[in-house]
Amino acid sequence: MEKTYYKISEVAEMVGETQPTLRFWEKEFAKYLDIKKVKGTRYYTSKNVETIKNIQFLLRQSDYKIDGAKIKLANDNRKIASNRYMKDRLISIRKKLVAVRKEINELESFN
């Protein structure tokens, strides 16, 4: 079941980033992240988490710099999510194919 709000520690674990990185991104991408703060605790919505995943994809996998990622987010947020999903899907398929190839090689070595 999906929660309404996530704490920064939960989001950091979900996306595999550190809390300081998320706080830095919160400042840099404030225009795209509307994070609620209650008594110093940050609360992220599902939409925030998706935006963070898009930021992560642009910075970590697509080699954008901060300024380029801001421009890309402003123009193509839906496309980024789609590209991120496709890349994740292709990586998953590749892992399965590599496992099948390994299994075939093991079977051939018995013959």
pLDDT tens for 60-109 read: 988 899 999 998 888 876 777 777 788 888 888 999 999 999 999 888 88
Residue 59 per-residue DSSP state: I
Residue 21 has pLDDT above 90, yes or no: yes
The pLDDT value recorded for residue 2 is 76
**H or E element in which residue 6 lies:** strand 6-7
Residue 44 has pLDDT above 90, yes or no: yes
Confidence category of residue 111, pLDDT binned at 50, 70, 90: low
- Quote the CA–CA distance of 110 and 31 in Å, as a whole number: 59
Sheet (strand 36-38) strand order? 6-7, 41-44, 36-38
Name the nearest CA neighbour of 59 among 33, 83, 25, 108: 25
Domains of the chain: 6-110 (1.10.1660.10)
- Quote the CA–CA distance of 35 and 23 in Å, as a whole number: 10
